[in-house]
Amino acid sequence: MLFNEELYRDDKNLLDFNKNKIILRNAVRAIILKENNILMVFLGKTNEYKFPGGGVEENETIEEAIKREVLEEVGCNVIKIVKKIGILTEYGIAKEGKGNIFKMISEYYSVNIDNNQIDQKLDNYEKELLFKPCWIEIEKAYKSNKKIIDDKCNSTPWIKRETRVLEIIKEDIKNERVINE
């Protein structure tokens, strides 16, 4: 595995792990590479990039979840899950229940897709954020997200997570290690 990191959406000092309930969500995210380009979901409302993926539903396997999420968000079929690339665990203040802690464990997988693209099957919030699949150079996606963070622009709660993983992938490729092997 390339990485296993923790990230705090909010000030770590605001999170009391001894007193507050932890609301856990497990998620899967797809890393889909073609040469130096990556298939991302562009959010037209906030101008940021995210990896295709989302929450693992009850009684759903990792494989089922990643196939469903990629099909829903970018309209492509996963033909092979190559390998697990890493885990990024986020902590933040939960929207559900005052003072609770939100813990999201995102597992990132290198996957291969077929060349057939169909219409996305987006949730309402994804439609509102104007999700659109796009191939982009990894460096461009990273710099675009980083600028949004640095300029403190309106963005989603997950932009730091996605930007950190883009940074890891970009460094991995720069150091001539190859994720898809």
| pLDDT (tens digit per residue) in 85-103 | 999 999 998 887 677 899 9
Statement: residue 112 has pLDDT above 90: yes
pTM equals: 0.92
Residue 35 has pLDDT above 60, yes or no: yes
Q: Give percent of the chain above pLDDT 70.
A: 96
Question: Per residue in 111-145, is it b (16+ CB within 10 Å) or e — as a string?
Answer: bbbeeeeeebebeeebeebebebeebebeebbebb
Write the pLDDT tens digit of every residue in 156-180: 999 999 999 999 999 888 776 556 5
The CATH code that applies to domain 3-174 is 3.90.79.10
Phi, psi dihedral angles at 119 (to 5 degrees): -65, 145
Residue 117 is predicted with a pLDDT of 87
The partner residues of 91 in beta bridges, in order of sequence, read 8, 103
Distance CA 178, CA 85 (A): 11
The end-to-end CA distance of the chain, in Å, is 12
Q: Provide the pLDDT for residue 93.
A: 87
Structural domain spans, the chain: 3-174
- Higher pLDDT among residues 57 and 175, named by residue: 57
Nearest to 9 by CA among 128, 140, 163, 132: 163
